[in-house]
Structure 1
Amino acid sequence: MTDNQQPTPNMLPTIRLANNDQLPRIGLGMWKVDDTRCESLVAEAVEAGYRHFDCACDYGNEAAIGRGLQSVLRSGSVSREELWITSKLWNTYHRREHVRSAVERSLADLQLDYLDLYLVHFPIALQFVDFDVRYPPGWLHDPDAATPAMQLDRVPIAETWAAMEELVTAGLVRNIGVCNFGTSLLRDLLNYANVTPAVLQVESHPYLVQDKLLRFCQQHDIAMTAFSPLGALSYVSLNMAEPGDTVLSEPTVVEIADRHARTAAQIVMRWGLQRGTAIIPKTANRDRLRENIDLFDFELSDAEMQAISGLDQHRRFNDPGVFCEQAFNTFCPIYE
C-alpha cells in the first residue's frame, strides 16, 4: 500500500522489518492513559482502524489494556494476528535473571501469549525491585527513604540483550529492539548482537529531527519509531515543557496546514510518516483518534518537508539528564 492511499482498518501502511514482519506505521501510544479509560479506548481505537498499541510496564496500565484487548478479541472485531502489541523492559529488570520474569508479567497483564515487539526502555540499569515489593517499580529504589533516589546497577547492555534474544528463541516475543539509544550505543550493540534490533524508538518531532540517527537506522535496516511525534504536548502537564513550546503554532506549520486544509497536528504527523518513521501519537479523545489516523490521502511536497525539518532546535523534552535530577534526586545523563 502506498502512503497516499486512505487505509481501511485492516490495511494500514506498514514498515517491513528484517524478518518480514509488518510494523504498522501508526500506533496508539498508551503512556499517561488512565486505567479507567484504557479498556474503552482500545475498543474505540480498533474501531477507528488502529492495530498497533505501544505499551510499557512503566506506564502502569497494562492490565487495563489487557482487558481492552481481550474485549475486542472476544468480540471478533479483530484477530490477534492483526494486532501489533509492543511493550518494554523496565530499568530494574536489566539483569539476565530478571528479563524473562519481566516479559512474563507484561504478557500476563496484557493477557497475551506473545508480544510483537519488546524494547529495552532506557539504556539505564537500576537495582532490582522485587515484583512483590512494588510493580511497576518506577525510578526510585525506595520512595519512602529520607532522600529517595535512583540506585544504578552495573549491568552491561550485552547481558540484557542476550536475555532479550532468549525471549525470541522461547517464542515469547517476535521482535526485539531498544529505546532512547544513540548511534554509539547502537553501533556497539550491532557488534555482538545475534539478533539485530528490529526497531529503535526515540523522541522525534520537528524540534528534534534526528536526521543522522534516522539515516543510521535506515543504513542498518532498523525501523525507527518516533514517540512524542507532536513534541511538547505530552510534557506540559509534567512541567517538562511550557505551553508556548508547541510546534503546532509555528507559522510554517500553520501555513502548510491551511494550504492542505488539515490541522497542524496532521501536518506534523504526516511529516513524521513521510520521512520514513512510524509514529505513536497518544490521545484519549475519540475524535482525535480518527484525526490522527487520517493522514494518507494527502502528501507534503519536498519544499514543505524541508521547511518543517528546518524548524529543528535539537530540543529534547524527554531527557533523563534533566528530569532524573529534578524528580528523582539523581543526575543521569544518557545523550551527552
Structure 2
Amino acid sequence: MAAEDETPDFFPLLAFGTYKVGRSSDPNTTDKAEVLRVIRDAVQAGYRAFDCAEFYGNEVEVGEALWASWPKEDRGSLYVIGKVWTSTIYAGPDAVVKQMEQSLRDLQASYFDLFLIHWPVPEKKHIEAYKALMPFVGPAKPIRRLGLSNYTVADYTELVAELDGLEEAGKAVVRPYSNQFEVSPWLYRQKTIDFFQSEGLKLQAYRPFADGRLLSAEKMPLEIRKIAEKHKTKPSRVLLQWIQKKNIQALPKSCTKERIVENLLDVNDAKTMEFLLDKDDLEVLDSMHKSEEYEATFKKNYVKCIVRDTPLAGSITVDGITDWHDG
C-alpha cells in the first residue's frame, strides 16, 4: 500500500493562485502590504485553497498574510499547495528536500496538502526529485499528497516506468496524485487531459483566462461573450465553470478585490453558483482550441521552462521532442 493511501481524499475544485502577488510592480521585490491585502481579500471572499511555489518568491509574505487572515489552529480547513523549482530540482535530491522544508517554514505551514515537481527537468532530474520526496508523504508527514506540474504524457510515462521498477524490486512507492498545467478554451489539450484522468490523476488548470486575454475587451472571443450574456454572468465565471465541469481544479489569480470576488466559483458549493452551463455551451467552449496557441505558447514555453535556471538552459528545442501526444 502506498504511503498516501490513508490520507483523506479531499481535492477542492477552486484554488487561489499566488503567482506575482506582491510582485506586480517589481518582479525582484515583494510588496508585503499588497500580499497582506490580496490574501486577506481572498480569505474573506471565501477561498480556502492557495497555490504557492518556491519560484514565486513570496512564500514568506504569503505565509504571514495567511495566518494574519486565518487562525493557525484551524490549519485543517485550508488547502496549501507548494512546488519545488527547476534550479533546486537540478541541484539534486538533498536540495529538493531542504527546499520543501524551507517552504514549509516560510509559509508557516505544518504540512503541504499537495506538493508538486514544478517542471520535469530532463536527464531524469525530475525523477530523482520525486523519489527524494516520497519518504515525506503520508497522513502525518510534511506532504500529504505528492504531484506533478507541467508534465507531458511522455514525462509521466518516464516517471511511472521508474516507479514500476522500484515496486517490482519490492520497494514502496508513492504514485503521482495530480498534474497541474495550463488549460483554457484556447489551449485545450483534450487527449492529454483524457489520458491523465484515465490514469486516475487529479488535474489543476492554471492560466484559465489565458493571461487575461480571454477577458480583455479587445480580444475576448464572441463565443464567450454570448454565453456570459445568455446566463447573465461574467465571462470569467463561464470559463471557471467550464474547467470545473471537467473535474479540473481552476487556479484563477488576481490582485483586485472585485475580480477576486468575481472569480469565486465552485461547482461543489451551491452558494457560489448562480447559473449552469448547458451542453451547447460546453461544446462551443470545447471547440475553441487554437493550434497557434498550442504551437507558439505551449510548446515553446515547455522547452524553455523545463531547463530554465539550470545549466541545461537553451539546450532543448521544440523540434527535438517527437512525442507531444496532442499533435
Q: Kindly provide the CA deviation profile for residues 46-77 of structure 1, in whole angstroms up to 9, marking residues without a partner as x.
A: 11110010010100000000101221234x7x
Q: What SS class does the counterpart of residue 187 from structure 1 fall into?
A: helix
Report the counterpart of residue 165 of structure 1 in structure 2.
134
Return closer, same or farther for 1:325/1:105 CA change in 2, 3 Å cut-off.
closer
Identity score, percent: 24
- Which of 116, 120, 127 is matched with 1:119 structurally? 116
After TM superposition, the structure 1 = structure 2 runs for residues 55-94 of structure 1, keeping only pairs within 5 Å, are 55-74=52-71, 79-94=74-89
- Which of 263, 271, 291 is matched with 2:242 structurally? 271
Displacement, 1:323? Answer: 7.3
After TM superposition, the structure 1 = structure 2 runs for residues 241-320 of structure 1, keeping only pairs within 5 Å, are 246=219, 249-294=220-265, 296-314=273-291, 315-316=293-294, 317=297, 319-320=301-302
Report the counterpart of residue 133 of structure 1 in structure 2.
none
Return closer, same or farther for 1:326/1:83 CA change in 2, 3 Å cut-off.
closer
Report the counterpart of residue 316 of structure 2 in structure 1.
332
**Partner Cα distance (1:313, 1:182) in 2:** 19
Does residue 101 (structure 1) correspond to residue 98 (structure 2)? The answer is: yes
The one-letter amino acid of 2:194's match is R
Return closer, same or farther for 1:325/1:176 CA change in 2, 3 Å cut-off.
closer
Report the counterpart of residue 44 of structure 1 in structure 2.
41
**Partner Cα distance (1:322, 1:276) in 2:** 29
* Alpha carbons 1:229, 1:279 under 8 Å: kept: yes
Displacement, 1:196? Answer: 1.2
* Alpha carbons 2:38, 2:255 under 8 Å: kept: yes
* Alpha carbons 1:232, 1:245 under 8 Å: kept: no
Please identify, of 315-324 and 38-47, the stretch whose mean Cα deviation from structure 2 is larger: 315-324
Q: Kindly provide the CA deviation profile for residues 281-314 of structure 1, in whole angstroms up to 9, marking residues without a partner as x.
A: 0101111111101452321111110111111014
- Which of 200, 203, 228 is matched with 1:224 structurally? 203
- Which of 14, 24, 34 is matched with 2:12 structurally? 24
Q: What SS class does the counterpart of residue 112 from structure 1 fall into?
A: coil
Unaligned runs of 5+ in 1: 1-16, 126-153
Q: What SS class does the counterpart of residue 26 from structure 1 fall into?
A: coil
Q: Kindly provide the CA deviation profile for residues 147-205 of structure 1, in whole angstroms up to 9, marking residues without a partner as x.
A: xxxxxxx4443322111212215811111111111112212322333211111000010
Please identify, of 103-112 and 35-44, the stretch whose mean Cα deviation from structure 2 is larger: 35-44
Q: What SS class does the counterpart of residue 23 from structure 1 fall into?
A: coil
Return closer, same or farther for 1:321/1:191 CA change in 2, 3 Å cut-off.
closer
* Alpha carbons 1:273, 1:279 under 8 Å: kept: yes
Return closer, same or farther for 1:327/1:88 CA change in 2, 3 Å cut-off.
closer
* Alpha carbons 1:99, 1:160 under 8 Å: kept: yes
Q: TM-score, normalised by structure 1?
A: 0.76
The one-letter amino acid of 2:67's match is Q
Displacement, 1:272? Answer: 0.8
Q: Over aligned residues, Cα RMSD in angstroms?
A: 2.8
Please identify, of 325-334 and 94-103, the stretch whose mean Cα deviation from structure 2 is larger: 325-334
* Alpha carbons 1:324, 1:331 under 8 Å: kept: no
* Alpha carbons 2:178, 2:202 under 8 Å: kept: yes
Return closer, same or farther for 1:320/1:213 CA change in 2, 3 Å cut-off.
closer
Displacement, 1:322? Answer: 5.5
**Partner Cα distance (1:313, 1:325) in 2:** 26
**Partner Cα distance (1:215, 1:308) in 2:** 16
Return closer, same or farther for 1:192/1:331 CA change in 2, 3 Å cut-off.
closer
Q: What SS class does the counterpart of residue 137 from structure 2 fall into?
A: helix
* Alpha carbons 1:29, 1:53 under 8 Å: kept: yes
After TM superposition, the structure 1 = structure 2 runs for residues 199-210 of structure 1, keeping only pairs within 5 Å, are 199-210=178-189
**Partner Cα distance (1:221, 1:60) in 2:** 31
Unaligned runs of 5+ in 2: 23-29, 164-172, 266-271
Q: What SS class does the counterpart of residue 263 from structure 2 fall into?
A: helix
**Partner Cα distance (1:93, 1:266) in 2:** 36
The one-letter amino acid of 1:258's match is E
**Partner Cα distance (1:79, 1:287) in 2:** 27
Poorly superposed stretches of 4+, deviation over 6 Å: 323-329
* Alpha carbons 1:29, 1:280 under 8 Å: kept: yes
**Partner Cα distance (1:272, 1:312) in 2:** 14
**Partner Cα distance (1:160, 1:20) in 2:** 24
